[in-house]
Amino acid sequence: MCSGRVSPNFIMDALSKGVDGVLVAGCHIGDCHYISGNERAQERIGNTKELLTMLGLDDKRLRLEWISASEGKRFAEVMTKFVDEIKSLGPSPLNPANKIIDQVPKEELECPQ
């Protein structure tokens, strides 16, 4: 219900299973229904992007956007642009079909809470 509740573990689990990209959308800063959840999301996503870089993954595979429920057109535009950018990056190197995942130790894919 809140972008601040998106655990880095959820993101890393998705990426480790071969998902090509993850987009987290939340309320605009200052408009959080849960007071400061979006600020927490911003910190968590920043830290998770750093982890992706340390693991050798392009941090563009993870994006955080501020989109309110009334911004349907903006949501569609952001999604379209994100999908295009992910397609330009190509399939995730962690995709099990690429068998590269076996080269990354499991403990490196886990993110501490």
Angle formed by the axes of helices 8-16 and 37-54, nearest 10°: 40
The winner for highest mean pLDDT among 21-30, 87-96, 101-110 is 21-30
Rg (alpha carbons) of the chain, rounded to whole number: 15
Question: Measured between alpha carbons, how far is 14 from 76 in angstroms, rounded to an integer?
Answer: 22
Quick one: pLDDT at residue 64?
Answer: 97
Amino acid at 104: V
- Residue range 46-86, pLDDT digits in tens: 999 999 999 999 999 999 999 988 999 999 999 999 999 99
User: Who's near 37: CB < 8 A, 6+ residues apart?
Assistant: 2, 3, 4, 5, 26, 27
The answer to whether 72 touches 57, Cβ cutoff 8 Å, is: no
Residue 90: CB atoms within 10 Å: 11
Question: Measured between alpha carbons, how far is 21 from 95 in angstroms, rounded to an integer?
Answer: 11
- Residue range 3-24, pLDDT digits in tens: 999 999 999 999 999 899 999 9
